Amino acid sequence: MSEARPSFIHRFVPGQGSAGNTTLLLLHGTGGDENDLLDLGGSLLPGATLLSPRGKVLENGMPRFFRRLAEGVFDVDDLQRRTHELADFIEQACSSYALDKTRVVAIGYSNGANIAASILFLRPAALAAAVLFRPMVPFVPTQMLDLAGKRIFIAGGLRDSVADPRGTRRLQDLLVGARAAVDLHWHDGGHELNQDDLAAAREWLSSAASPMPPA
């Protein structure tokens, strides 16, 4: 029986040195693709292995990881189905590329950050940690799974008109309530990323890329 192959169009960049033991799962925003965050990932944790899938949903020709019904209104059924699909892809890629599945760290921006948060809600074993740039609450689960041992960095914009800061704080509350270790970084700007966000994430990753022992 042949081994299942990773099910997303993606880019894979092998790591180098000790940092190569950590895999950064790069999840682009709306309109991005598998090439979008490669330079970003390489700058955040030099030498890390990079795994960058392309979202399968098209919105006016622009790739996304799940459907939305309107700005800020998600198709939750589609989101949950595609969350499981992406978590399965992570497992397949770890097997195909002989990656340490306990050292996968999501790096998500906007739509990519939202599906990364959804993975934490539904399939937390797929990720050791996550960096969420400009996330929203993807949905409110009826029961949060225990996230003890998960390290999460959230970067929000105080003037973000897309990912409202109140939603960012609500996401932090949900994750902390599930016992995750959450660091929240604020920038006095909007939805776009800037060097302040990247510097804070780079510093956080340098110490938090490795899995944290269970509480």
The set of catalytic residues is: 110, 160, 191
Structure tokens at 62: 């622009």
CA–CA dist 64, 56 (Å, integer): 6
Structure tokens at 169: 């704080």
Tell me which residue of 207, 211, 195, 206 sits closest to 40, measured CA to CA: 195
The bridge status of strand 104-109 relative to strand 129-133 is parallel
- Do the beta carbons of residue 52 and residue 41 sit within 8 Å? yes
Instruction: Using alpha carbons only, give the angle 57, 59, 64 rounded to the nearest 5 degrees.
Output: 45
List alpha helices for 22-107, DSSP H. 38-44, 76-96
Q: What is the dihedral of CA 194, 179, 88, 65, to 10 degrees?
A: -40
Tell me which residue of 123, 137, 142 sits closest to 173, measured CA to CA: 137
- Do the beta carbons of residue 100 and residue 21 sit within 8 Å? yes
CA–CA dist 19, 210 (Å, integer): 10
